[in-house]
Chain A
Amino acid sequence: MRSKTLQIFLILLGVLFVALMLLLPLATVLAYALRQGWRIFAAAITDNYAVKALNLTLLAAGITLVVNTTFGIFAAWAITKFRFRGKQALTTLIDIPFSISPIIAGLVFILIFGRIGWAYPLLEAWKVKIVFAVPGIVLATIFVTFPFVSRALIPLMQSQGSDEEEAAALMGAKGLEIFRKITFPHIKWGLLYGVILCTARALGEFGAVSVVSGHLRGKTNTLPLHVEILFSEFRLTAAFAVASVLVVIAVIILILRNIVEYRLKKEEE
């Protein structure tokens, strides 16, 4: 009986918290975005700078995805299927971006590639721009979202052990073949899960990108930065309209994530 009351209490608390902390703000964003009608909303999100910012955000997220997925698979593969010295250290190092503040991530790139950074003369000679240009934004996004894929894969691959791979190796299969036929089928849902989280974070990244961006409109402004600019320019409706685009993308990602999570559980059973 008491546990029943406790159960109801806990559920209520959970629902209340989610409603107040998450749903209410999101609903506010949408309501604010639409308060002056659809035409203003449409004008805000089809504005030239908004479209360019969206393109840049998608470009950065796309590249990030490819790089981090590739790295994540290899790192998880190395860590879970092989034994080597410093494995624990490597696992810890991969997690650095989770524990470090994004502003530090941004400043690091400024200190390396900025005009007074040590790599600057080299970049000058090659006529390459990293910070205050698109490559810097991509780099910062990659840095911040680095651990997602490997973090999703490592526990999964660890729980599966390496028996099957060893058996395959005994039967004469080569490295890549083992990966393709044995390892990958087991991890694909976990991989997709990591990829989705990585994308979500890459699309929304603000801090690190803000540091390396230089806020050049139409050039180095991502969608989250654009929202801030609009907000600062008293264009609240436009700011919330653009923010709502991010919210919608986030909701789609959330739905995808749930489907994948469901699949993942089924697979495990």
Chain B
Amino acid sequence: MKKSILSKTTAAALGAFLLIAALPGCSGGGAVNTSGNTASADASNPTPAGAAKEPAAAPKSVSITNVSYDPTRELYERYNKLFQEYWLKEKGQEVEITQSHGGSGKQARSVIEGNEADVVTLALEGDVDEIRKAGLIDEGWVKRLDKESAPYTSTIVFLVRKGNPKNIKDWDDIVKSGIEVITPDPKSSGGARWNFLAAWAFSNQQNGGDEEKNKEFMKALYSNVTVLDSGARGSTTTFVENGQGDVLLAWENEAFLSQKEHPGDFEIVTPSLSILAQPSVAVVDANVKKHGTEEVATAYLQYLYSDEAQRLEGQNDYRPSNPDILKEFGDTFDLNIKLVNIDDDFGGWEAATEKFFADGAIFDQIYKR
């Protein structure tokens, strides 16, 4: 009797252990298969001529990591394919591009902590500059690429529910009591900083530069915020998928994307004044030197300015920095919106960060409940 129990139990235990032991084993096999599949999928771009151009000079493939912010997920998914084709044609080399997305400030932090990005494509200059301060990006990076290293721009708009039931037209409508506002946390999100500054600029214009009144205005605005997510995409899903709030302060491209995902459910409201949001891109010098990827990483960012890429950015609802191509998208974007900008109206990111977002600065003062 006892013996039979024992043998049964040992068999069961053995079975369970086999199952457990088999898991990592079979996972290894799976991994090999899938990576094989990707390689062949990536190689499906037919460019036989490119391969012949540079026979054995460079290694056959190279891989880079692009650490980006939240709303660029769809853009870079497409852009990476475009660049892979281009690079294969130019250099006969396959590029594997690994993406990472999250709140812009959070992403910058992770690069500083050792997430080895070859390029960063973040929501604002200030976040990239934090990485420079940590010693990973060389001085003067802003001037290394055209247009202050911002290949595409955007602005901040309102996304409201169908029919605009709360009749939201401009910034002073969203500070009224009873309006629920969704925006991310300016401490961790780049988009949230643009939101904050756009609202501030509006108030500043209304109140003739009275700082105390501006603070009152911002206090009223942030007391209407019901959900403060850590990144722009989190806020979008809070508003769009989870149905929270009356108005979402959103990147223009994020607002368009929400409309595309849910046709007819949302309306975009362009306020009377907004801000020219310039997402910045940079090669992370210390990491590309370590990985030997300087050339491809630089080309990856430069190609963002090419006509094809500029059009792709426009199709993904970012405003192309090339004025001629921007005009092609005149039907998509409201090109007459009055835009303030960070350098002329706020004295650059360094000053703006110090004044508004540093510990104990204006955001901390007005967000205390």
| Smallest Cβ-Cβ distance to A218: which chain B residue | B98
| Smallest Cβ-Cβ distance to B106: which chain A residue | A215
In this assembly, does A63 line the interface, its C-beta being within 8 Å of a C-beta of chain B? yes
Residue among B112, B113, B134, B233 making CB contact with A232, cutoff 8 Å:
B233
Residue among B12, B31, B113, B116 making CB contact with A110, cutoff 8 Å:
B113
Known: A55-B30, A216-B65, A231-B237. A132 touches B23 (CB 8 A): no
Whether A232 pairs with B70 at a CB distance below 8 angstroms is yes
Residues in B with CB closer than 8 Å to A63 are 24
In this assembly, does B100 line the interface, its C-beta being within 8 Å of a C-beta of chain A? yes
Interface residues of A, dominant DSSP: helix
Residue among A52, A62, A259 making CB contact with B23, cutoff 8 Å:
A62
Residue among A110, A196, A214, A232 making CB contact with B237, cutoff 8 Å:
A232
Residue among B30, B234, B241 making CB contact with A236, cutoff 8 Å:
B241
In the bound assembly, the distance between CA atoms of A199 and B22 in angstroms comes to: 14
Whether B38 pairs with A48 at a CB distance below 8 angstroms is yes
Residue among A52, A54, A65, A115 making CB contact with B114, cutoff 8 Å:
A115
Residues in A with CB closer than 8 Å to B257 are 234
In this assembly, does A61 line the interface, its C-beta being within 8 Å of a C-beta of chain B? yes
| Smallest Cβ-Cβ distance to A61: which chain B residue | B23
Known: A52-B34, A55-B30, A215-B102. A131 touches B113 (CB 8 A): yes
How many residue pairs at the A-B interface have CB separations less than 8 Å? 108
In this assembly, does A35 line the interface, its C-beta being within 8 Å of a C-beta of chain B? no
In this assembly, does A195 line the interface, its C-beta being within 8 Å of a C-beta of chain B? yes
Whether A216 pairs with B98 at a CB distance below 8 angstroms is yes
Whether A62 pairs with B24 at a CB distance below 8 angstroms is yes
Contact with B along A100-135 (1 / 0, CB 8 A): 000000000010011111001000000001011000
Residues in B with CB closer than 8 Å to A263 are 9, 12
In this assembly, does B99 line the interface, its C-beta being within 8 Å of a C-beta of chain A? yes
> Size range of the interface on A?
35 or more
Which residues in chain A, 210-269, are within 8 Å of chain B measured between CB atoms?
A: 214-219, 229, 231-234, 236, 256, 259, 263
Contact with A along B6-30 (1 / 0, CB 8 A): 1001001100100011011011101
In the bound assembly, the distance between CA atoms of A113 and B30 in angstroms comes to: 29
In this assembly, does A73 line the interface, its C-beta being within 8 Å of a C-beta of chain B? no
In this assembly, does B365 line the interface, its C-beta being within 8 Å of a C-beta of chain A? no
| Smallest Cβ-Cβ distance to A136: which chain B residue | B114
B125 to chain A, nearest CB (A): 22
Known: A54-B27, A59-B24. A217 touches B99 (CB 8 A): yes
In this assembly, does B295 line the interface, its C-beta being within 8 Å of a C-beta of chain A? no
Residue among B31, B74, B98, B114 making CB contact with A233, cutoff 8 Å:
B74
In the bound assembly, the distance between CA atoms of A219 and B31 in angstroms comes to: 11
Residues in B with CB closer than 8 Å to A256 are 16
In this assembly, does B261 line the interface, its C-beta being within 8 Å of a C-beta of chain A? yes
A230 to chain B, nearest CB (A): 11
Known: A48-B38, A65-B20, A192-B13. A120 touches B99 (CB 8 A): no
Q: Which of B12, B28, B241 has most chain A Cβ within 10 Å?
A: B12
Whether A192 pairs with B23 at a CB distance below 8 angstroms is no
Whether A58 pairs with B27 at a CB distance below 8 angstroms is yes
Whether B20 pairs with A199 at a CB distance below 8 angstroms is yes
Give 13 new A-B contacts, CB below 8 A, not counting A61-B23, A65-B20, A216-B98: A55-B28, A59-B24, A110-B113, A113-B114, A115-B112, A129-B114, A188-B9, A188-B13, A192-B16, A216-B100, A231-B241, A232-B237, A234-B241
- Ordered by A's residue number, 24 sampled pairs between the chains whose C-beta atoms are within 8 Å are A48-B38, A52-B31, A55-B30, A55-B31, A58-B23, A59-B27, A62-B20, A62-B23, A63-B24, A116-B112, A117-B114, A132-B113, A132-B116, A188-B13, A195-B20, A216-B99, A217-B98, A218-B38, A219-B98, A231-B237, A232-B234, A233-B233, A234-B261, A256-B16
Q: Which 9 A-B pairs have the closest CB atoms?
A: A62-B24, A115-B114, A114-B113, A214-B115, A55-B27, A132-B115, A58-B27, A215-B100, A58-B23
